[in-house]
């Protein structure tokens, strides 16, 4: 789940989530828009604050794993 999807589902705006992760509303906006990838200190905070619903992989558009790799 992307951060933008999570924020929308939870009814939170960028400023509200920014307070929860101690980052600015603008930083959250950029994370949610895909304009910036959170740094190594911020990434686990986001995962924790979203109860694992937004993970580091969600910030990278990796697509689906090929069927041969999915079973491995």
Q: Give tens-digit pLDDT for 39-52.
A: 999 999 999 999 99
DSSP annotation string for 9-43: HHT--HHHHHHHHT--HHHHHHHHHTSS---TTHH
What's the topology of domain 3-70? Answer: 434 Repressor (Amino-terminal Domain) (1.10.260)
Span 16-27, average pLDDT = 98
What are the residue boundaries of the structural domains of the chain, listed by start? 3-70
Assign 1 to helix, strand or coil: coil
Q: What is the pTM of this model?
A: 0.83
């Amino acid at each position: 789940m992307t951060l933008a999807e999570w924020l929308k589902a939870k009814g939170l705006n960028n400023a509200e989530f920014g307070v929860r992760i101690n980052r600015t509303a603008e930083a959250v906006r950029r994370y949610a828009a895909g304009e910036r990838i959170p740094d190594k200190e911020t990434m686990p905070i986001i995962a924790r604050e979203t109860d694992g619903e937004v993970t580091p992989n969600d910030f990278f558009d990796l697509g689906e794993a090929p069927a041969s790799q999915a079973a491995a």
